[in-house]
Amino acid sequence: MKKKPAAFLDRDGVINYDYGYVYKYKDFKLRPGVIKGLKLLTKNDYRIFIITNQSGIARGFFKVKDVDLLHKLIIKNFKKKKITINEIKYSPFHIKGVIKKYMKNSKTRKPGNLMVKQILKNGI
């Protein structure tokens, strides 16, 4: 695969307004200029990756399936606008979580860069 330029963007607060633990599509409100910026990246053949901490999973506020559904709808609706999101990757972990499986420190959590490294390892 030919390597292409890539953009790595945070989700909450960058793509959408961060109202705290956004996991339902009805609460997902885009920030100004996002569509224009993403269209510019897509037009210029950038691969677009969204990376996001989702500690609400570890904290028991919502489930993995909720985040997966939200991300599926985000990708689908951007596609309708001719914007290609190559992948949305998230970290469900937090040391103060209540769901044992996700209650840990993880280098996938930003500001750690393991999510970016995992994407790069797959080749872009």
In a domain, 10, yes or no: yes
pLDDT surpassing 80 at residue 123? no
pLDDT attached to residue 48: 98
pLDDT attached to residue 12: 97
What does each C-alpha distance from 37 to 6, 67, 74 come to in angstroms? Answer: 13, 24, 16
pLDDT attached to residue 122: 81
Pairing type for strands 87-91 and 47-53 reads parallel
pLDDT tens-digit profile of 5-27? 999 999 999 999 999 999 999 99
Pair 20, 62: CB distance under 8 Å: no
How many structural domains are present in the chain?
1
pLDDT tens-digit profile of 37-76? 999 999 999 999 999 999 999 999 999 999 999 999 999 9
Q: How far, in Å, CA of 24 to CA of 15, rounded? A: 15
pLDDT attached to residue 1: 55
pTM of the shown model: 0.93
Residue 50: which domain range? 6-121
In a domain, 1, yes or no: no
In a domain, 53, yes or no: yes
In a domain, 62, yes or no: yes
pLDDT attached to residue 97: 96
Contacts of 45 (CB under 8 A, 6+ apart): 4, 5
In a domain, 101, yes or no: yes
| Domain CATH code at residue 21 | 3.40.50.1000
pLDDT attached to residue 112: 94
Residues classed as catalytic:
10, 12
In a domain, 68, yes or no: yes
pLDDT attached to residue 4: 87
